[in-house]
């Protein structure tokens, strides 16, 4: 096994320090303690991010971007990436504008799904009056198994369409897809689904209030 060259070492260091460097730029001349308090976490956590000892979760990134008034995508990945990152189907539909959630609040409210939360928007009016077009919602992307589905409102992909619908499992391996808006008809999908290309992207757990 050969030792890495000095160029390879420096490339590795640069890659490892990319996020901490951007975080320092975002922090500017603000105090670490004051900035961390505004973000909703401790200065110890922020120092770990700055030192490259740990990486922030998605909600923490949102809080940092909002507090520093910087672009979320720049903060997370820099001005450009050399390699396409692998993303889940749900992540393609993430609402991109920074929105601050206090990390400790998210951890308290969603202790089992904190690391799997996704922020997105209601795509249409089909769930009114419960959810309105453009409403921001938090999705638990760990709850996406069709075999263990429970009654609730889900973000799902049906063919090429992204939908937010109320799902209900019916005995006989039938999934009822319901809209709260009376103008939208209920329909059913047999399980396992082979022709409709149905995939769950997660369960809606919050939209201004826990669901």
pLDDT in tens, 59-83: 788 888 878 888 877 888 876 433 3
Lowest mean per-residue pLDDT among 16-30, 47-61, 178-192 = 16-30
What's the token pair of residue 18?
């990319």
| Per-residue pLDDT at 205 | 92
* pLDDT category of residue 15 using cuts at 50, 70 and 90: very low
Longest dimension (CA), the chain: 68
**Residue 182 backbone class (left: φ over 0; alpha: ψ -120 to 50; beta: rest):** alpha
Separation CA 21–CA 13 (nearest Å): 11
pLDDT at residue 128, rounded to an integer? 94
Give Cβ neighbours of residue 57 (< 8 Å, ≥ 6 apart).
Answer: 103, 114, 115
Burial of 121 (0-12, 13-18, 19+ CB in 10 A): middle
Closest CA to 89 of 16, 159, 37: 159
pLDDT score at 99: 53
pLDDT in tens, 100-114: 567 778 888 888 888
- Give the pLDDT confidence score for residue 193 in this predicted structure: 65
pLDDT of residue 3: 45
DSSP state, residue 4: P
Note whether 203 and 90 are within 8 A (CB).
no
| Strands of the chain, DSSP E | 117-121, 136-140, 152-158, 161-170, 174-178, 187-190, 198-206
Q: Is the distance from CB of 165 to CB of 70 less than 8 angstroms?
A: no
CB-CB contact of 156 with 175 (8 Å): no
> pTM higher than 0.85 for the full model?
no
Task: Catalogue all structural domains in the chain, each as residue range(s) with its CATH number.
Answer: 6-76 (1.10.260.40), 112-206 (2.10.109.10)
Q: Determine the average pLDDT of the residues in 83-99.
A: 44
What would the pLDDT profile of 120-130 be if each residue is shown by its tens digit? 888 889 999 99
């Amino acid at each position: 096994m050969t030792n890495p060259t000095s160029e390879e070492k420096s490339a590795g260091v640069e890659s490892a320090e990319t996020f901490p460097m951007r975080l320092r730029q975002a922090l500017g001349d603000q105090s670490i303690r004051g900035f961390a308090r505004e973000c909703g976490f401790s200065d110890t956590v922020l120092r770990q991010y700055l030192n490259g000892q740990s990486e922030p979760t998605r909600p923490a990134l949102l809080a940092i971007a909002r507090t520093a008034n910087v672009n979320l995508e720049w903060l997370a990945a820099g001005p450009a990436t050399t390699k396409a990152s692998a993303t889940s189907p749900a992540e393609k539909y993430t609402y991109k504008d920074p929105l601050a959630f206090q990390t400790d609040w998210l951890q308290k409210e969603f202790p089992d799904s904190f690391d799997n939360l996704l922020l997105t928007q209601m795509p249409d009016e089909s769930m009114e009056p419960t959810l309105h077009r453009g409403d921001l919602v938090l999705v638990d992307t760990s709850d996406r198994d069709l075999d263990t589905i429970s009654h609730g409102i889900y973000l799902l992909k049906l063919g090429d369409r992204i939908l937010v619908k109320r799902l209900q499992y019916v005995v006989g391996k039938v999934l009822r897809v319901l809209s709260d808006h009376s103008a939208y008809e209920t329909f059913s999908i047999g399980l396992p689904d082979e022709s409709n290309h149905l995939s769950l992207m997660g369960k809606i757990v919050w939209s201004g209030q826990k669901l």
